[in-house]
Structure 1
Amino acid sequence: MINFCTLFDSNYLTRGLALYRSLERVSPAFHLYVVTFDDQSFEYLSSLRLESLTPISLKEFEDQELLKVKPTRSVAEYCWTCTPSIILYCIQKYHLPSCTYVDADMIFYNDPQLLLDEMDGESVLITSHRFTSEYDQTDHGIYCVQFMFFKNDRDGLTVLNWWRQKCIEWCYARLEDGKFGDQKYLDDWPIRFKGVHVLEQPGGGVAPWNVQQYEFHYEEKVLKLRYQKAGASFPVVFFHFHGMKIYTDNAFACTGTLYDLDETVKEIFYFPYAEELSKIASTIPETYVKIKKQGAKDHSPSRKKLLLSYLRERLVLMWLGKSGPFNRNNFNFKRHYHIHHFSKK
């Protein structure tokens, strides 16, 4: 049995349910604990009575230390602040031998046990961003708070309690004194603590910031990847749909314009994901969703606006020395234009 935990509100209901369904498809035995950040999501998940999902209300979860700092954090910053506390809460409340935190905007394609088998008795598992060089943001964190395993033992709880206290003390969306959000704290864990394992398999943590390094294929119906410069293949365990945005005009953006995505990546990952989100959204009554279904608030931007946005981001990267000169002759904006419609594939 793998015990997972995550957090989301009604804007992310479709994503959270898609995550759950993906685990149903690939994990023989799992349970997902969800801390719901608004009443609508708690009520709806409770009404579904899903066999392998336990919704937890925000009121039930929050303690005095979290409530004290809540007014000082933005919504996103407070979610980050809560992450280690959610893992600890689930371990203590439900007497779990271990708990794995997952971001709600992920889909599993193969059994996550493949990743946990790597640990060889260690107590904590963390995953690297594995940035493509052009998108290197290791100054914001070497490791990504997306898939993190903690064992309920001395080493695991030592790390988890330390991280919780640090996030309560400081957790903001800015770089300051070697800190950034909840994730920069992870940078020195392999040195600072005993029992920390850094995931080696590249199939755990495929995301828009590293997908450019891989080629994808199926072997006997198993989705796999291989590095473009090497021959070894690995199962794709999960994809992180960071930056996906839903619009009010039945459109979605796969991710931000900065990231280069080819059509194969969209066909394998993004279009099926968007279709599943749309199907789930059609089953959710309006009373359970905040503002608009799937959190949509704005009309999709024009192609011109997105091009200007991309050029601004590239200029910033060039100024920071993280990107080479812009080569107009080799530029193909199609690989950076990620607006599509749910009705089209």
Structure 2
Amino acid sequence: MLPKATIIPLSDFEDEQLLAIKPTRTAGEYCWTCTPSIILYSIRKFGLSNCTYLDADLFFYADPIVLIEEAKGASVIITPHRYTPMYEDSESGGTYCVQFVYFKNSSEGIAVLEWWRAACIEWCYNRREPGRFGDQKYLDLWTTMFTGIHVLEHLGGGVAPWNVQQYDFERKIGQIWGKELASQQLFPVIFYHFQALKYAEKNSFTLAGGYAISDNDIEFLYKPYIRVLRDAGREIRLLSHSLKFHETDRIPRITTSLRRMFKLYVFGKFQHYYHQSYFLR
């Protein structure tokens, strides 16, 4: 079914250290805890020359090889959040995002992975403490602790709800291009991080969890992704008609407790409804 994927069960890489702390973490926290462990396991088990961690909610509009090539032989690549000022969260959430993280099978790359693994085993929780948040805030230390770390400069690597307000988008020559509003710099969009996009009710979606998303963003970033989700859903339903994905059987709860705009985007015509002064909770 997935000829290009190698499925690795937890039991293949869980060792005594992971199993010892597993009861102390929620399911989500344990997933974060395991991030460096599964990367390190994959490199060693399969003899990989490199391994790139990807969040599951990334969508690629172009070949990411340009991001690897930018690093010019570095052993580790990390991607900055590039927060829009109104969403600045570096102090608490981290300067860098665990979304696209590249590791080379080198002494430098393995040293970072082994340190990250030990740190996550010691502490990895879904709460914010000074210098710590999940598996993510640890990345802030890497540029000073280790050599061979490259901070990605390509604006097309890491477009996300917390920075998309800084750009406009268009399609030309079969590619989605972004333009940074402040500098007018043009760049090809490589990937977008669809954080907080969720099925709301049957064929409807809620988008970005409170971040401002424009009609331009929807047209050039969200619509192509939703089309792909729809096509993937059809393909999966050919295998099992009982699967409902993340759909719910009820209308999402809407409350007036916060005066914000909620947009509901629907498959097919991608019709959107504006509920002034409402917020989905």
Look up the match of 2:257: 308
Q: CA RMSD in A?
A: 2.0
Look up the match of 1:16: none
Distance 2:268 2:175 in 1: 27
Distance 2:163 2:208 in 1: 13
Question: Given the alignment of the two structures, is residue 169 of structure 1 paired with residue 113 of structure 2, yes or no?
Answer: no
Q: Which structure is higher in helix share?
A: 1
Look up the match of 1:83: 35
Q: How is 1:1-345 mapped onto 2 (pairs within 5 angstroms)?
A: 48-50=1-3, 52-138=4-90, 139-256=92-209, 258-285=210-237, 293-297=244-248, 299-302=250-253, 304-305=254-255, 308-309=257-258, 311=259, 336-345=261-270
- Which one-letter code corresponds to 1:155 in the other structure? E
| TM-score using structure 1 length | 0.73
- Which one-letter code corresponds to 1:339 in the other structure? L
Distance 1:220 1:237 in 2: 15
Query: CA-to-partner distance for each residue in 1:142-190, whole Å, 9 max, x for gaps?
Result: 1000000001011110001000110011000111232110000011211
Conservation of the 8 A alpha-carbon contact between 2:78 and 2:149: yes
> What fraction of aligned residue pairs are identical, expressed as a percent?
46
Distance 1:298 1:132 in 2: 35
Question: 1:215 and 1:285, CA in 2 relative to 1: closer, same or farther beyond 3 A?
Answer: closer
Distance 1:130 1:236 in 2: 15
- Which one-letter code corresponds to 2:262 in the other structure? Y
Paired residues, number: 269
Distance 2:240 2:73 in 1: 42
Distance 1:193 1:117 in 2: 20
Give 1:221 shift.
Answer: 1.7
- Which one-letter code corresponds to 1:299 in the other structure? R
Distance 1:264 1:184 in 2: 31
- For structure 1, the 5+ residue unaligned runs are 1-47, 312-332
Distance 2:226 2:63 in 1: 22
Greater RCO, 1 or 2 (C-alpha within 8 Å, sep 6+): 1
1:208 is paired with a residue whose SS is coil
Query: CA-to-partner distance for each residue in 1:30-78, whole Å, 9 max, x for gaps?
Result: xxxxxxxxxxxxxxxxxx042x222222222322222221111111111
1:249 is paired with a residue whose SS is coil
**Runs of 4+ more than 4 Å apart:** 285-289
